[in-house]
Amino acid sequence: MEAKRLILALFLLFLLSKSSAFPSRKSRVHKPCKRLVFYFHDIIYNGKNSKNATAAIVGAPAWGNKTILANQNHFGDLVVFDDPITLDNNLHSAPVGRAQGIYVYDKKEIFTAWLGFSFVFNSTEHKGSINFAGADPLMNKTRDVSVIGGTGDFIMARGIATLMTDAFEGEVYFRLRVDIQLYECW
């Protein structure tokens, strides 16, 4: 009698283990192991805002220059940035980290970009970095890039980040909302 009950308990445990070890497509897709939302703020150098600028054009096509984003939807402009990360959408909130890396406008017909960058944290809340890469079709309301790795608190992280243009002013300031969904966490 006892043996049977033990077997039953064991079997249930076994099933439980199986369901965790082989998650259905659905459950994996819908349950990030970590989710974080941030804003970051990009102020491109335009020849006059050197004190406030957090980004600068460092590569440009033959028809471009380093202080004005180029014709043809900025195709070919390569920008380096060190942008403050905030918890809300206020540029003047205390930064919780820095978004650092490059983006490049990569299409003549519409605004699109390619991004390679990191979120760098060094606070009591988070220490370490999250690394991102991917295409950013700016005209879409939301667009996803890949989380390709992490260090420190985010070591071995993988997942996606959903970008949304939260605001922009002319061609100098823009603010992105980033919804990070990690599907691999340590």
Residues 86 and 95 sit within 8 Å (Cβ to Cβ): yes
Residues 62, 92, 94, 124: which binds a copy of itself (CB under 8 A)? 62
3-state secondary structure 122-148: ECCCCEEEEEEEEEECCCCCEEEEEEE
Distance CA 11, CA 140 (A): 49
Smallest separation, CB 166 to a copy of itself (Å):
20
Torsion angle (degrees, nearest 10) of CA 44, 46, 47, 52 = -40
Q: Does 96 bind a copy of itself (CB under 8 A)?
A: no
Does the footprint of a copy of itself cover residue 158 (CB under 8 A)? yes
Q: Which stretch binds a copy of itself (CB under 8 A): 33-41, 76-84, 87-95, 171-179?
A: 76-84
Minimum distance from CB of 93 to a copy of itself (Å)?
Answer: 19
Among 19, 31, 49, 58, binds a copy of itself (CB under 8 A): 58
One character per residue 26-55, x = contact with a copy of itself (rule: CB under 8 A): --xx---------------x-x--------
In terms of DSSP bridges, do strands 34-43 and 127-136 run parallel, antiparallel, or are they unpaired? unpaired
Kindly state the helix (H) or strand (E) to which residue 26 belongs, with its residue range: helix 25-30
The answer to whether the beta carbons of residues 89 and 125 sit under 8 Å apart is no
Q: Which of 106, 153, 166, 179 binds a copy of itself (CB under 8 A)?
A: 106
Residue 139 contacts a copy of itself per CB under 8 A: no
CB of 88 to a copy of itself, least distance (A): 23
56 binds a copy of itself (CB under 8 A): yes
Vertex 62 angle, CA 61 and 63, to 5°: 90
> Is residue 86 close enough to count as binding a copy of itself by CB under 8 A?
no
Tell me how far, at minimum, the Cβ of 76 lies from a copy of itself, in Å. 4
